[in-house]
Amino acid sequence: MIDAQNLTKKFDEVTAVEGLTFHIDEGEVFGFLGPNGAGKTTTVRMLCCLISKTGGEARIADYDVGNTADSLKIRKMIGLVPDNVGLYDKLSAYENLDFYGKLYECTEKLRKENIEHFLKMLGLWEKKDVAAGTLSKGMKQKLAIARALIHEPKVLFMDEPTANLDPEASKTVRDFILELKKENRTILLNTHNLDEAQRICDRIGILKTRLLTIGTPQQLKESLGGVKTEIQLVQVNDAIVSAVKKVTTHKVEISDNKLIIDVGNIDTAIPTIIEAIVSAGGRIQSVTELNPTLEDVYLKTVK
């Protein structure tokens, strides 16, 4: 559904996005993670035909990004939730959606049905006649999401959709994205929220001007080497370390009074290691399995 090959954007001498290559399948939720200034928003703006690309190629469905004739067709088939909601403050929630529905040439019947549908799904129906400028930040964000969907786009771009929202509003938005996923919509999500990305994205790309890595959340976590076991002792000494290394070929790290071993604690090697520690006079306080997190992957990759 979305293809990019060596997509590049420069602003004078500054390269915002460099050589970006990726593919997003129809119905996939794809997430971009990256620090501020990594090029996430720039990438979305290029794909939405809001700014021109400097180099490379990109396609959405059968249309070329950067082709003047295709740009309008792309804009008609996509929805965008920008980092700045940009609503008309004096218009009501309902009037905002109706206005944008008219811009997309939706019929009156479709506008009415979709406005009611999305406002109810997002818990805003009771606020339909309230001026957008008086709504809370979370309500404005949800209204912006409804606006992006009013014309039933096949592809949805969401730039930090839960930024600065309280936990309840964030959960509503996340649940809504999962509902959209069931409708086989293709979604590209920019986020700083690692937990959010792990919960809703099929695949994740970590971006820092260039695409550093890409994969499913599980593949990214496994790239750090899988699970480890942490054994907390009252005290670690040379005799204990020597005893452990005699009974295992797994890598053993020492951190304060902890032994960190490159194997999960359900492995048959762990009971043997524990027995060796006790035989060497070690006093064990706890045994914990350490699973790599998406945060571990992110921090290691961007650094």
Range of lowest pLDDT (28-32, 58-62, 71-75, 192-196): 192-196
- The larger pLDDT score, comparing residue 228 to residue 54, is at 54
Amino acid symbol at 286: S
The Cα–Cα gap between 140 and 130 comes to 11
If asked whether residues 183 and 254 sit together in one domain, one would say no
Count of CA atoms in the C-beta half-sphere (13 A) of 94: 12
Predicted local confidence at residue 267, as pLDDT? 66
pLDDT at 16 over 80: yes
Determine the pLDDT at residue 264.
66
Nearest 5°: CA angle at 253, between 252 and 255? 145
Q: Is the CB of residue 200 less than 8 Å from the CB of residue 174?
A: yes
Whether 209 and 286 map to the same domain: the answer is no
Query: What gap in Å lies between CA 38 and CA 34, rounded to an integer?
Result: 6
Q: Provide the token pair at 286.
A: 């706890």
Residue 223 maps to a domain = no
Same domain, 201 and 244: no
Number of domains in the chain: 2
Domain termination site, one of 215, 248, 269: 215
Q: Are residues 269 and 135 in the same domain?
A: no
Average pLDDT over the chain, rounded to whole? 90
Calculate ∠ Cα 78-101-161, nearest 5°: 50
- Cα Rg for the chain, rounded, in angstroms? 25
**Cα–Cα distance between 41 and 298 in angstroms, integer?**
18
Asked if the model's pLDDT at residue 220 lies above 90, the reply is no
CATH number of the domain bearing residue 146: 3.40.50.300
Domain boundary among 215, 250, 277: 215
Is the same domain home to 145 and 267?
Answer: no
Residue 75 lies in a domain: yes
pLDDT of 138 above 90: no
What pLDDT does residue 266 have?
A: 62
Indicate whether 163 and 248 sit together in one domain: no
Residue 52 lies in a domain: yes
171 and 134 in a common domain:
yes
Distance between CA atoms of 98 and 43, rounded to whole angstroms? 29
**Least trusted range by pLDDT, from 72-81, 104-113, 165-174, 278-287:** 165-174
Structural domain span for residue 284: 228-292
